[in-house]
Amino acid sequence: MTELDCEQVLQLVWQFLDGEMDDTRYLEIQAHIAACAECGPRYQFQRRLLALVELKCREGPVPTELKRRLFRLLEE
């Protein structure tokens, strides 16, 4: 595997953050972004963006009344 340049590293941001790449490549990118002022902050931002989406889309538990209605269906 040849060494990745910045452009290639940036293209792989989602696969990296999603954990969808093999270990060798993952470690290579990890080392790259730790040292690179161009890619590091961009990766950092995308990571926070994904965390934000997850956080802001949280919902409370299923309403008690709905849950009761569902479980009642099993009794019939």
- Quick check: 29 binds Zn ion (CB under 5 A)? no
Binding to Zn ion in span 46-75, by CB under 5 A: none
Q: How far apart are CA 34 and CA 19, in angstroms?
A: 17
In the numeric block, the tokens 């080392």 are attached to 31
Taking CB under 8 A as the criterion, the residue among 6, 14, 27, 34 binding other proteins is 14
- Quick check: 21 binds other proteins (CB under 8 A)? no
DSSP string, 19-72: T-S-HHHHHHHHHHHHH-TTHHHHHHHHHHHHHHHHHHT---PPPHHHHHHHHH
- Quick check: 25 binds other proteins (CB under 8 A)? no
- Quick check: 5 binds other proteins (CB under 8 A)? no
Residues that bind other proteins (CB under 8 A): 10-11, 13-15, 18-20, 41-42, 44-46, 48-50, 52-54, 56-59, 61-62, 66-67, 69-71, 73-74, 76
